[in-house]
Amino acid sequence: MAKFKGKPNLQFLEIGSFEGRSAVWLLENILTDSTSILTCIDTFGGSPEHENKQLRIGEIEQHFRHNIKESGSEKKVIIKKGYSKEILPGLTHGAYDCIYIDGSHKASDVLEDAILSKLLLKKGGMLIFDDYVWDERIDELDRPKVAIDAFLKVYKGQYKLLYKGKQIMVEFV
């Protein structure tokens, strides 16, 4: 992500923000120019993996907004509350330099987010998948890996693989 650090007029999109830790990291380390914008999509309602973790689901959005405010970059953040499958089709095609997918872990949702996100990337844009090796659910269709692998197979030859580990990072050429 070094190629983006401190550059002006960047447009980043984060699908799945939860309490805002990754958003704050992006704002403090990459989107440091005052003209760069981070759009965050989240329902702020948690997901199935949060069921047994004693989280106060009703406070997720409040924590997110607090963390963004504390970062000092509140004016550079656009919050879109809702489901990505409903919000992504309404965003501008070819507008984003980087999209970080970390919303639902359900394979069908991850695949849908990936396909819709690809349309939103600028040429040379970066797509990052989180939780590639996440395995908290027994059924593979409740995990991101199968969807990410399918997406990468279908779009083979259209991207350059930058990193493969707990996350997958690709740059579309």
Overall average pLDDT of the 164-168 stretch: 97
Per-residue model confidence (pLDDT) at position 78: 98
Where residue 11 sits, what CATH number does that domain have? 3.40.50.150
| Amino acid in the structure at residue 79 | I
Buried b / exposed e over 22-36, threshold 16 CB at 10 Å, is bbbebbeebbbeeeb
Give the domain extent around 79.
2-172
Using an 8 Å Cβ cutoff, are 11 and 100 in contact?
A: no
Using an 8 Å Cβ cutoff, are 5 and 29 in contact?
A: yes
In the structure, how many helices (H) and strands (E) does the chain have?
Answer: 5, 7
Per-residue model confidence (pLDDT) at position 26: 97
pLDDT tens figures, 87-144: 999 999 999 999 999 999 999 999 999 999 999 999 999 999 999 998 876 788 989 9
Q: State both tokens at 118.
A: 């690809």
> Domains in the chain: how many in total?
1
